[in-house]
């Protein structure tokens, strides 16, 4: 077995103390494991440094060990910083370096989050940017340059109150350096250090690591977060590096207020690049707009629904001053002297009659308006406004479990406001998604401000269990707020196509799967044949259990996928990583036409017993 590769996976004990539970992820430097610290009885993350080419392991060993020690030392110097993953220790086990780190439960990196749920709103990007900038600045003050700021190295995790993505953490100081400390650089001079497409131009051309270079990489990262791709995305790493040095960034389409900040951070000349203090001030203004800016009304008809990661700042209602009645009524009382002591000529009676008539008409119209405006709740006023606006097109409010079809403008998914249609029983069409939750608010204005984020919280669990979905908030308009039941509807929609049936708890036990799109993690399956499966309870006998997903290449046909998917799941989602004994269990897989029609090519990975027996509900 190659040196440095996992020898037995789950169950290894590292340094006589850390029991490996499952693998959290892998990268260019090695693997990250969830482990149990047997001495302190707590969970930690262990980063295992491995060698990509076993033939050069001996030559690389000294440099890799030294690099791991440098990473631990740099990160440990920032111990206690709220936006840096804490490093506890660095050790050697069987000649390989391991870094013991804080385990961040339920964390997702920014790259995966944007890939699954779409771009973030500009204000949310600015919030993430402020946190990462704070971490970078703390390192820069100690002379530590990160050198690899990118979406995959930014973690978002729930805070103590359970708000998803509230914590923002910078991780992976694996190639960081203290240039002023005389440190040895454990990289080859001919090797470009960093990630193509996120390097500063001066770094790509061989310049030294600086704080300004880290700021450029942060600008590329925030661009990726708000646009869904990097500013220098090209067909190859070499082309990306060339673009960084020679070409302007791709024009942003969704950055909004963030666009000028990105432009300043992506300035190719480091001497003209925006400094950290000014970038912090600019990002802060986006997160917390100035009071005078908030006083302007933003007109938005048919707000419909916005993804929590694509939403824009909500309109701020403006209270227009009402004209006061003259303090003395029409005309001047006899007791009030006229200006300069002059006597006013009496108004003609005809004019007084006309004025009196107009006043009476105004009072009558005002009375009608007042009666309509203060009509008791529930009393029909005639024409009703659609609950979510005319663009969404629904005349009645959505209900829990409603399946929906979504017709997007121009056929571009998650761009603009979709026209929705309801299939209440999920029987008459292939649904694009389903109503999974609601968020109640006191006003339509509050719904615009918090509805999307709260929907993201309410649907987070189900979205994380499915392979290819996104959240979407259907926000009521001002006129339709009461008709919508004062609630924002939280949808889960297929990210690239239909979901082919009910989702989550709206599925019934015993129902057959029409497509893999509705299979979710920890589903237990009854499998009467290799082409049919139905949902059953995990407490009873079942044939398989779903543990995750993988994807196959764009050139792989569905027929080829059915022949290769078991091996792909065994490689990418091994049962041992989920606590299943590899001597008893093996990988299983499910494919269907849906992911091939949408071009996502995802495969559902499950586990089954090697002897073909049933699972009895006592598995991990």
Active site residues: 148
Nearest Cα neighbor of 451 from 443, 174, 129, 367 is: 443
150 is in an annotated binding site: no
SS3 string, 440-481, reads ECCCHHHHHHHHHHHHHHHHHHHHHHCCCEEEEEECCCCCCC
Q: Are 330 and 355 in contact (CB under 8 A)?
A: yes
Nearest Cα neighbor of 478 from 318, 286, 290 is: 318
Rg of the Cα atoms in the chain: 31
Write the DSSP symbol of residue 344.
P
* Torsion of the alpha carbons at 271, 277, 282 and 285, rounded to the nearest 10: -170
DSSP assignment of 377-412: TT---SS---TT-TTT--SS---TT-EEEEE-GGG-
Angstrom distance (rounded) from CA 125 to CA 109: 14
CA distances from 333 to 336, 344, 346, 351, 382 (A): 5, 11, 11, 17, 44
CA distances from 284 to 125, 262, 292, 293, 322 (A): 11, 14, 15, 14, 35
DSSP SS3 for 151: helix
Nearest Cα neighbor of 516 from 571, 595, 586 is: 595
Angle, helices 122-141 vs 276-287, to 10°: value is: 150
Nearest Cα neighbor of 275 from 284, 262, 265 is: 265
Paired strand residues for 490: 437, 473
Cα dihedral sign, 527-528-530-532: negative
Write the DSSP symbol of residue 146.
-
Q: How many residues are recorded in the chain? A: 620
Angstrom distance (rounded) from CA 569 to CA 38: 31
* CA 308 centroid distance within chain: 8
Q: In sequence order, which ranges of 142-246 are alpha helices (DSSP H)?
A: 201-204, 211-227, 237-246
Angstrom distance (rounded) from CA 307 to CA 311: 6
Angstrom distance (rounded) from CA 200 to CA 219: 10
Nearest Cα neighbor of 536 from 528, 545, 526, 527 is: 526
User: Measured between alpha carbons, how far apart are the two ends of the chain, in Å?
Assistant: 28
CA distances from 141 to 78, 138, 183 (A): 10, 5, 16
Q: Which residues are annotated as a binding site for ATP?
A: 47
């Amino acid at each position: 077995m190659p040196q440095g590769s996992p020898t037995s996976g789950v169950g290894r004990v590292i340094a006589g103390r850390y029991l490996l539970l499952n693998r959290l992820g892998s990268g260019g430097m090695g693997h990250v494991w969830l482990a149990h610290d047997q001495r302190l009885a707590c969970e930690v993350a262990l980063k295992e440094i491995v060698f990509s080419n076993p033939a050069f392991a001996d030559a690389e060993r000294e440099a890799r060990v030294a690099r791991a020690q440098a990473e631990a030392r740099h990160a440990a110097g920032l111990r206690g910083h709220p936006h840096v993953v804490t490093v506890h220790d660095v050790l050697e086990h069987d000649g390989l370096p391991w870094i013991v780190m804080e385990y961040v439960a339920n964390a997702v990196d920014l790259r995966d989050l944007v890939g699954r749920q779409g771009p973030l709103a500009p204000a949310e990007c600015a919030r993430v940017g402020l946190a990462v900038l704070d971490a970078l600045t703390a390192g820069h003050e100690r002379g530590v340059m990160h050198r690899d700021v990118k979406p995959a190295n930014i973690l978002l995790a729930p805070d103590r109150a359970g708000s998803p993505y509230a914590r923002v953490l910078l991780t992976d100081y694996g190639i960081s350096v203290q240039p002023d400390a005389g440190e040895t650089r454990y990289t080859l001079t001919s090797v470009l250090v960093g990630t193509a497409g996120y390097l500063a131009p001066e770094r790509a051309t061989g310049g030294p690591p600086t704080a300004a270079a880290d700021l450029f990489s942060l600008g590329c990262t925030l661009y990726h977060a708000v646009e869904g791709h990097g500013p220098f995305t090209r067909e190859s790493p070499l082309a990306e590096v060339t673009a960084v040095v020679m070409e302007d960034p791709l024009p942003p389409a969704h950055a909004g207020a963030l666009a000028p900040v990105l432009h300043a951070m992506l300035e190719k000349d480091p001497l003209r690049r925006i400094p950290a203090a000014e970038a912090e001030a600019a990002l802060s203004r986006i997160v917390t707009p100035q009071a005078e800016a908030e006083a302007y009304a933003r007109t938005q008809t048919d707000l419909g629904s916005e993804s929590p990661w694509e939403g824009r700042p909500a309109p701020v209602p403006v209270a227009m001053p009402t004209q006061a009645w003259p303090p003395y009524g029409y005309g001047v009382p006899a007791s009030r002297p006229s200006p300069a002591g002059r006597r006013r000529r009496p108004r003609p009676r005809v004019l007084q009659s006309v004025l009196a008539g107009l006043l009476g008409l105004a009072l009558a119209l005002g009375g009608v308006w007042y009666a309509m405006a203060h009509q008791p709740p529930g009393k029909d006023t005639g024409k009703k406004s659609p609950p979510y606006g005319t663009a969404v097109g629904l005349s009645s409010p959505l209900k829990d479990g409603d399946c929906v079809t979504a017709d997007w403008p121009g056929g571009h998914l998650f761009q603009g406001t979709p026209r929705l249609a309801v299939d209440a029983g999920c029987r008459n069409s292939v649904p694009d998604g389903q109503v999974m939750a609601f968020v109640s608010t006191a006003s339509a204005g509050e719904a615009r401000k918090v509805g999307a984020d709260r929907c993201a919280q309410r649907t987070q669990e189900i979205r994380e269990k499915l392979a290819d979905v996104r959240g979407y908030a259907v926000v009521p308009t001002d006129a339709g707020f009461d008709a919508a039941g004062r609630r924002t509807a939280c949808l889960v929609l297929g990210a690239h196509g239909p979901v082919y049936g009910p989702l989550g708890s709206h599925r019934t036990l015993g129902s057959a799967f029409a497509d893999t799109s509705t299979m979710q993690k920890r589903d237990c399956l009854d499998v009467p044949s290799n082409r049919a499966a139905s949902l059953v309870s995990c407490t009873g006998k079942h044939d398989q259990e779903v543990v995750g997903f993988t994807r196959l290449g764009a050139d792989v046909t569905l027929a080829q996928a059915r022949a290769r998917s078991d091996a792909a799941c065994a490689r990418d989602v091994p049962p041992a990583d989920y606590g299943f004994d590899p001597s008893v269990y093996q990988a299983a897989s499910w494919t269907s036409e849906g992911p091939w029609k949408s071009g996502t090519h995802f495969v559902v990975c499950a586990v089954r017993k090697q002897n073909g027996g049933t699972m009895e509900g006592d598995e991990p």
